[in-house]
Structure 1
Amino acid sequence: MGAPRTIYIAGAGIAGLTLALALAKFGLHVVVLERNDSASEFGAGLQISANARKVLDNLGLSEAIAQKSFTPKGIEIFPDGREKPLQTLTLGKAIEKRFGAPYAVMHRADLLDVLHGAARRFANIDIVFSVADFTLDGSGGGLTVSAQEPDGKQRKAKPFAFVGADGVRSVTRTRYLGGPDARYTGKVAWRALVAPEALSGVLDLGRTSLLLNPHFHLVVYPLPHRNAVNLALFTQEDERDLSVLDQRAPRVNPRKDSRLAHILESVGEGWTPWVLSSVETPVWHKGPIGLIGDAAHAMLPFQAQGAAMGIEDAAVLAPLLAASPSAEHAFSRFATLRQDRVKRVQEVSASNGKIFHMGFPFSLARNAVIRSEGPEGHFKRLDWLYGYDAIQSEKS
């Protein structure tokens, strides 16, 4: 047998490290290039639905994730300052039984820590941090990757494939595939963590809470491993104001909503803004160069599937890169298997944003639908999403 195939990955984020682990299990040699000096992830909370959890469990990460995550009992929905929830969507054991894996929440940094720790245990995964830039040369019928290592040495290699998992501002997409820049969606996520005591008696911290308003919406869920509660407040912001977001708190008027007023007071100036951008490109690959995760399809987070889609991508692409006769063949098959599904998730996420922010009288119809669907109506509605098995997708 010859030497194993070598795959280079740009980006040691959730999608990149999941792919590295999946490839390593097939015996491939993986080199991950990361511009930061450590594995780090911006943000706070992350929701891991069954479709993503099945992939992570298959990589042997079930116990590690269980130790650092929390499984909410349900999702309480509070429209327009309503005192009691309009509906409580069932999660917990019921959703695990339905879809074969739990629905959990955790800190992004904790998931990245689990992935990074697992990757370090593989001798065939090499993670190179502090890589300022890389160049790709596809002339001469092959692929040459060059990268400046932190000690000043120049790394050169001729891998089987190069995968851009380098996020929404992907250099792989824009520089080497001629893809578009990310597009501002008009929305900003304001993130914060508060102590559980700050919200005691205000919300049920055994569940996720969703507060709806025509001008914003707020997602709240506990992170017991961090002894914290995650808050994600989504607002509409003019593009001209983006440069000064760090200098102010979100402009949200609680009006007669005492619960929201309490939450805003608890956070004070502790919000961190994150501009939400999306990526829509039909070109996911060219020759031995391809994209996964946000680099290919960054989306609004209103179905909590951004990271999940990158995790699914990794599970689908890894066996293709391991077995295909060429990288181009692997990437072409990957795009065929993934693009329609990802587009559907993008559309649902964008639609949810509009539904969450409905004003009167349209909100009355929305509320009636939520009420009529019952606590398990989302099971049937999202069966195509949560019931998906990325590991089996190539065989189906």
Structure 2
Amino acid sequence: MQPLAQRADTSETRTIYVVGAGIAGLTLTLALAKFGARVVLLERASALSEVGAGLQVSPNARQVLNGLGLDRPIADASFEPAGIDVYPHGAGRPIGPLLLGAAAERRFGAPYAVMHRADLVDVLYRACRRFANVDMLFGIKGFSAEVQGTGVALEITEADGRTRGGRGFALVGADGVHSQVRTQLLGEAAARPTGSVAWRAMLPAGTVAGVLSPQNTSLMLGSGYHGVIYPLPHRDQVNVVVITRQRPSDASSSAPRIGWSLTRSGRLEAVLAAAEGRWSHWPLLEARPRAWHRGPIGLVGDAAHAMPPFQAQGAAMAIEDAATLAPLLVSQPSAEAAFARYGAARRGRVERVRKQSSANGRIFHLPWPLSVARDTVVRLGGGEGQLRRLGWLYGHNAMDGTGHKRD
């Protein structure tokens, strides 16, 4: 067995193993590297890929990314919508827009942007590669880990079948909703279905020209479904997500089923027609483990708290996790102490975001006539109503160590 990490762990140089090269794992790797830790990143895939679709980078996430020195590359790879056009069921014209753009940046000190997941992963990956204290192992076949003293010992099987071993200060599972670290090392439950299915498609921008605003995100609401559509200009594409309430076993691979009365406005019907044959779908899952850590082994991102996407905060919560955990792992006397303080700092906020997301799902999918009250509240709130209401969420800056709110 070849040694993977030879240096002893000290307060100055600690080896942290991170499992998963997604947004959570790469953000944590970058943050740890900037603090001087030695990071070994483990990923089963042989290389980063284009798998995924659009995501929203809200101001609370952008504050962290900016703090990691990524403001310019994120700006170059993303788009900042001016607002959100809300289309109630059957409406030909939107409510709003609900303001984003300059209003969000003025209020929270960072913009609200949308981008392709693969582009965010690429920005993070390129930043991580600049650090000599980061080792990235792609294509691993598997690994085992056990607690030894205050640290953790690993045995890793690489793509060619050779095994390598090492000992680290901590092991962090950033391996997503189906986390092996959560289920196999911490003994926590597998993720469970939420009862919703997400249908995603990427369309050429020209397919919705004249149908939806090229400057705004469009939110389309209906009984038992909602759609989110926004432009990704630097890719010359439009991201489309339709979420329906249905059992995963009822979801065909062809197209979402959202009811006979969809066609009253014609706009979403036009988008669905343009997306024909392009859909992929995933059952939406959530993970709610009792513990986020055991000794020197812990979790971040979806591995710790996968939640419904109705507030578009999955990536943002992972990014905040990384900003909170990284300085603790390099400053606390033990990984156990670092994970305990991280959990104390993050669990309450994550649970509040989960509840907000679940509430949005119920509100978005209200049937008529209950939806009339919802639409009235949106109108009365005005252009900055949602920014005022969500100041606690978007104004949070996990980089300053105090959870400062700016609203």
TM-score, normalized by length of structure 2?
0.94
How far is the alpha carbon of 1:360 from its aligned partner?
A: 1.4
Partner of 2:112: 103
Residue 66 of structure 1 pairs with residue 72 of structure 2:
no
Counterpart of 2:144 in structure 1 is 135
The answer to whether the Cα contact below 8 Å between 2:397 and 2:403 also exists between their aligned partners in 1 is no
Hey, what does 1:13 align to over in structure 2? 22
2:150/2:335 contact within 8 Å kept: no
Indicate how the Cα distance of structure 1 residues 191 and 240 shifts in structure 2: closer, same or farther if over 3 A, else same.
Answer: closer
Distance 1:264 1:141, change over 3 A: closer
Task: Give, in angstroms, the shift of residue 41 of structure 1.
Answer: 5.8
User: The residue matched to 2:396 in structure 1 has which SS?
Assistant: coil
Equivalent pair of 2:396/2:403 in contact (CA under 8 Å)? no
Where does residue 341 of structure 1 map in the other structure? 349
The correspondence for 1:282, drawn from 290, 307, 321, is 290
Choose which of 304, 310, 318 in structure 1 pairs with 2:318: 310
Corresponding residue number in structure 2 for 1:90: 99
Q: Of 333, 345, 361, which residue of structure 2 is paired with 1:353?
A: 361
Alignment equivalent of 2:55, drawn from 46, 49, 58: 46
Q: Give 2:204's match in structure 1, choosing from 170, 195, 215.
A: 195
More moved, 299-308 vs 1-10: 1-10
Q: Secondary structure at 1:138's aligned position in 2? A: strand
- 2:258 alignment partner, one of 234, 240, 252: 252
- 2:219 maps to which of 210, 221, 236: 210
Q: Is the 8 A contact 1:177 1:286 kept in 2?
A: yes
Contact 2:310 2:357 in 1 (8 A): yes
- Of 281, 291, 294, which residue of structure 2 is paired with 1:273? 281
Match of 1:162 among 171, 176, 180: 171
After the TM superposition, which of the residue ranges 20-29 and 386-395 deviates more from structure 2? 386-395
Counterpart for residue 377 of structure 2:
369
Matched, 1:293 2:301: yes
* Residue number among 224, 227, 246 corresponding to 2:233 in the alignment: 224
Which whole-Å CA distance do the structure 2 matches of 1:365 and 1:379 have between them? 20
Is 2:130 aligned against 1:124?
no
Are residues 395 and 74 of structure 1, via their aligned partners in 2, closer, same or farther at CA, if it must alter by over 3 Å? closer
Q: What's the % identity of the aligned pairs? A: 52
SS at match of 2:168: coil
| 1:250 maps to amino acid | P
Over residues 154-188 of structure 1, what are the superposed CA-to-partner deviations in whole Å (9 max), with x where a residue is unaligned? Answer: 11111000000000000111111111110101111
Partner of 1:320: 328
Distance 1:140 1:338 in 2: 26
Hey, what's the Cα distance between the residues in 2 that align with 1:115 and 1:18? 7
Give the gaps of 5 or more residues in structure 1: none
Give the SS at the match of 1:300.
Answer: coil
**Secondary structure of 1:203's aligned partner:** coil
Q: Which residue of 1 aligns with 2:4?
A: none
- Conserved? CA contact 2:53–2:200, under 8 Å: yes
Instruction: Check whether the contact 1:41–1:112 (CA below 8 A) recurs between aligned residues.
Output: no
**Deviation of 1:282 (Å):** 2.5
Contact 1:194–1:229 (CA<8 Å) still a contact in 2?
A: yes
Q: Cα offset for 1:139? A: 4.6
**What amino acid is the match of 2:311?**
Q
Amino acid at match of 2:203: V
One-letter amino acid of the counterpart of residue 255, structure 2 = A
1:255 is paired with a residue whose SS is helix
**Take 1:190 and 1:356, find their aligned partners in 2: how far apart are those partners?**
16
Structure 2 counterpart SS, 1:32 = strand
Find the aligned partners of 2:242 and 2:278 in 1 and give their Cα distance: 12
Q: Answer whether contact 1:96 1:102 (CA < 8 A) is retained.
A: yes
Counterpart amino acid of residue 188 in structure 1 = V
Residue 81 of structure 1 and its aligned partner are, at CA, apart by: 2.1
Deviation at 1:194, TM superposition (A): 1.0
Contact kept in structure 2, 1:13 and 1:40, CA below 8 Å: no
Partner SS, residue 38 of structure 1:
coil
Q: What is the Cα deviation at residue 140 of structure 1?
A: 5.3
Please tell me whether the aligned partners of residues 29 and 128 of structure 2 are also in contact (alpha carbons under 8 angstroms): yes
Deviation at 1:121, TM superposition (A): 0.8
| Separation in structure 2 between the aligned mates of residue 71 and residue 106 of structure 1, nearest angstrom | 9
Question: What is the total number of aligned residue pairs between the two structures?
Answer: 393
Partner SS for 1:7: strand
1:281 Cα offset (Å):
1.7
2:221 aligned counterpart, secondary structure:
strand
Paired with 1:84 and 1:29, the residues of 2 have a C-alpha distance of 54
**Residue identity matched to 2:104:** I
Q: Which amino acid aligns with 1:368?
A: T
Q: CA RMSD in A?
A: 1.5
What do residues 246-278 of structure 1 show as CA deviations (whole Å, max 9, x unaligned)? 3x2212342323112211111111111021100
The one-letter code of the counterpart of 2:89 is D
